Structure 1
Amino acid sequence: MSYFNSEKPKPRFSRWGIVSLLALALAGLSFLPSGYVIERPGQVFNVMGEIDGKQVISSSDLESYPSESRFDITTVSLLGNREANPNWIQVLAAWADPDQLVLPIDTVFPPNLSTEEVRAESTLQMEVSQQDAIAVALKQMGYQVPRSLYVNSVIEDTPASKKLIAGDFVVSAQGFAITTFEELKATIQATGDSELLLGLVRDGIERQITITPAKQGDSFVIGAMLGYTYDFPASVLLQLGDVGGPSGGLMFTLGILDSFTPDSLAGNNHVAGTGTISSDGQVGPIGGIKLKVIAAKDAGATVFLAPSQNCEELLGHVPSGLSVAIVRDLEDALIVLDQVAAGTKLPELKCTN
């Protein structure tokens, strides 16, 4: 007697059906906005070199000297903005890549600012950073560099709108003379949402206005971008193309010093770095430091100067063959360069409070 199974085979997807479904799912992901942006190691610029056939650093007043040193400004490349953020396939690939960083879009492009406003602010930060770098370098060279606090731009529909104008010099707040942005910021926070009395010089005429700061997050703002304008004793021109942000300040300062003083600050070494520079020579923290050391190593640098406030981020993330030196100010950076020029081996990266 023979037996056979009369049950009908259960329907199941064919291999091609599964592949087709996966393809459709991936295609769908490729069109879905993610709400993230992706940071990658960006371009590296040698400030001792040329861009588009023109020296990055030049002067019609100062004597320039040849140098064997190379000083690189490192950058971060950004994929995406509020109007066009990466799709989910790009985000998933970036999450799997240790050389890329995925960030929520609001951390890079604040909801209250358009993409164009963020770019304009970044450009302004670069301009201010360059002016501070020139001032710090000239002072290091022994020049006197007077400065004034001024309004660079005013954001529409803010407390400062139609009250401050670009080019106003700010000389007092609440009746007290001020000379620094930090003094003005502290006065704004102390004033809160009460009236702030500002003393200005506009078109050579002194005047006073009142502004009521607005709450933004945990602080108060007036809606104006301020910076320093300097009375430079010598003309120094810096040009770096379409690069924004303030993080090139330290390297610009070193490049200026190296360009207009006889010795090569770092000998024949290739030094990269990052960090803001304040008018008194303090080096400030920046974003994307892990990506910037990768860019520096890929460009051939052997030494990287990093702000002290970014030290903890770098622990365990320094590429092999790259020595990282932590600096708090210009003086620290110059000491490191002396060691590099002398061939002294830099110590292993350590962070101190």
Structure 2
Amino acid sequence: MSQFSEPAAKPKPKRTRVGLSLLAVGLVLLVVLAFSPSPYVIRTPGPSFDALGTTEVKDDAGETQEVDVISIDGADRIAPDAGTLSVMTVNVTGTPQYQPSWFTAAAAWLQPDKDVLPIEAYYPDGVTAEQRSEENAAMMTQSQGAAIAAALTEQGYEVEAELTVMGVNEDGPANGILAEGDVITAVGDRTITDYASLQAEPFTEEPTDVTVLRDGKAQTVTITPKKTDTSDTPILGILVQDGFKFPINVDIELGDVGGPSAGLIFTLATIDLLEEGDLTSGESIAGTGTMAADGTVGPIGGIRQKVHTAVEIDSDYFLAPEANCQEALQASVADEIPIYAIADLDEALATVKAEGTDQLDGIRTCEDALAANVPQV
């Protein structure tokens, strides 16, 4: 029997081994990069809340309680009808301390209900997650005040504007003279009702009389405004916030939700709870938009995500600030729900009442609003 030896295997070329090594290193680097932090935040659809219903909050003892989103004291609270007025929210993933990975950001780019934004859009240089949360809480508080003011004014109540001191700079001229909670009513002989009236005339570096309400009692103090490293004009060194004096107590509770975008829905819900009849006509209404005390509705962020949520919860239609109409119609589900353009409270009420009767002549959809703004040639 003959014996044959197997031919020796040919050694792999050196450049093949080098290529495989480089490929392996490249794959490792790609994996490392994919899971390394990216300079973005991701905006996704958040939960919705019925402003006519209840929500769960924790008390000082940490116990969960169910409370009305809107409670009223000093006037009859009319039981809400079968319809809903849903507040839309968005979730934002990512902070300066905890940034989403490149892989997570890339995956979000491919999903139509998500937005990937530069982290500076939510956290300007130097702003921490805690500071952003505090800003959102402050905006929510101010937004609720304006929403209540608009609702009560529409209902015929007299609402007085006021300017409240929210903080005093320790190094400022008002330190030890003004205090948090003071309501500024006059500077010299000028009546003060809001921030605009406070800024109407610049201060000088002369002793200035400031009249405030403290614990319900009026008192006049003297402050000498000063220039600072950040201000070329003399200032008092205080933080202030526009507010209102209401004839009845309306309290809005929505837990940890922040920002100003629920104003429109809060206003409509407050009106619905104060007047007889069914404002919603039993329909499920979703919407968003800031609300000014004079009834003006302003734009917000994240409207595409809110349209997605509205469709998901099977809302009958969506109320959108006119300035957000183009973006709202870019939502991938925009053709699944009527979206109406809202410029102010009067238009919001007219739209809701028209929807309840199916008499929609003169009611603007977002398509109508955009078409009306197209230049004619």
Cα 1:173–1:206 change in 2 (3 A) is closer
Tell me how far apart the structure 1 counterparts of residues 31 and 91 of structure 2 sit (CA, whole Å).
26
What is the CA distance between 1:22 and its match in structure 2?
Answer: 6.0
Q: 1:33 to 1:59 in 2, by over 3 A?
A: same
C-alpha separation in 2, matches of 1:103 and 1:161: 40
**By how many angstroms is 1:333 displaced?**
0.4
Q: Is the 8 A contact 2:174 2:236 kept in 1?
A: no
**Structure 1 residue ranges (4+ consecutive) displaced by more than 6 angstroms after TM superposition:** 14-19, 155-163, 220-223
Cα separation, 1, equivalents of 2:257 and 2:229: 31
Q: Which runs of 5+ in 1 are unaligned?
A: 1-5
Partner of 2:40: 36
Q: Distance in 1 between matches of 2:201 and 2:46?
A: 38
Report the AA paired with residue 311 of structure 2.
K
Q: Which amino acid aligns with 2:141?
A: E
Q: Secondary structure at the match of 2:193?
A: coil
Per the TM alignment, residue 34 of structure 1 is displaced from its structure 2 partner at its CA by 1.5
1:57 and 2:61 aligned: no
The normalised TM-score by structure 1 is 0.83
C-alpha distance in structure 2 between counterparts of 1:156 and 1:299, whole Å: 49
Corresponding residue for residue 60 of structure 2 = none
% identity of equivalent residues: 33
Q: Which has the larger radius of gyration?
A: 2
Whether 1:150 aligns to 2:164 is: yes
Alignment of 1:216-295 (within 5 A): 224-230=239-245, 232-295=246-309
Give matches, 1:62-73, under 5 Å.
62-63=75-76, 64-73=78-87
Residue deviations 1:270-299, cap 9 Å, x none?
A: 111111111111111111122211122112
Contact conserved, 1:159 with 1:213, CA < 8 A, in 2?
A: no
What displacement does 1:309 show?
A: 2.1
Cα distance in 2 between the residues matched to 1:157 and 1:83: 30
List aligned pairs for 1:67-146, cutoff 5 A: 67-146=81-160
Q: 1:183 to 1:261 in 2, by over 3 A?
A: same
Which deviates the most, 168-177 or 91-100? 168-177
Give the C-alpha shift of residue 115 in structure 1.
Answer: 2.1
Shift in alpha-carbon separation, 1:234–1:34, aligned structure 2, 3 A: same
Pick closer, same or farther for the CA change 1:81–1:153 going to 2, 3 Å: farther
In 2, the alpha carbon distance for the partners of 1:214 and 1:45 equals 45
Shift of 1:106: 1.8
Secondary structure of 1:182's partner? helix
Evaluate the alpha carbon distance shift between residue 270 and residue 156 of structure 1 in structure 2; reply closer, same or farther with a 3 A threshold: farther
Displacement after TM superposition at 1:241 (Å):
0.9
Residue identity in the other structure for 2:281: G
The aligned amino acid for 1:38 is I
Gaps of 5+ in 2: 1-9, 57-65
Quick check: 1:159–1:214 contact (8 Å CA) kept in 2? no
Report what 1:212 is aligned to.
Answer: 227
Alignment of 1:148-187 (within 5 A): 148-153=162-167, 165-172=179-186, 176-184=190-198
The separation in 2 between residues aligned to 1:19 and 1:159, in whole angstroms, is 66
Please tell me whether the aligned partners of residues 265 and 338 of structure 1 are also in contact (alpha carbons under 8 angstroms): yes
Residue 226 and residue 186 in structure 1: after superposition, are their counterparts in 2 closer, same or farther (change >3 A)? Answer: same
Counterpart amino acid of 1:287? G
Moved more, 157-166 or 278-287: 157-166
**Where do 1:12-27 residues align within 5 Å?**
12=16, 21=25, 24-27=28-31
TM-score of the two chains, using structure 2 as the length reference: 0.78
- Secondary structure, in 3 states, of the residue corresponding to 1:12? helix
Distance 1:294 1:221 in 2: 46
2:212 to 191, 201, 210: 201
SS at match of 1:320: helix
Partner of 1:45: 49
Coordinate RMSD, CA, aligned: 3.2
1: CA distance between counterparts of 2:265 and 2:85?
Answer: 7
Distance 2:228 2:188 in 1: 13
| 8 Å contact from structure 1 (residues 37, 85) kept in 2 | yes
Partner of 1:3: none
Instruction: Tell me if structure 1 keeps the 8 A contact 2:286–2:310.
Output: yes
- Report the CA distance between 1:202 and its aligned residue: 5.5
Of residues 342, 350, 357, the one that matches 1:327 is: 342
Taking the aligned partners of 1:97 and 1:122, their CA distance within structure 2 comes to: 26
Pick from 354, 358, 375: which aligns with 1:339?
A: 354
Separation (CA, whole Å) in 2 of partners of 1:157 and 1:80? 34
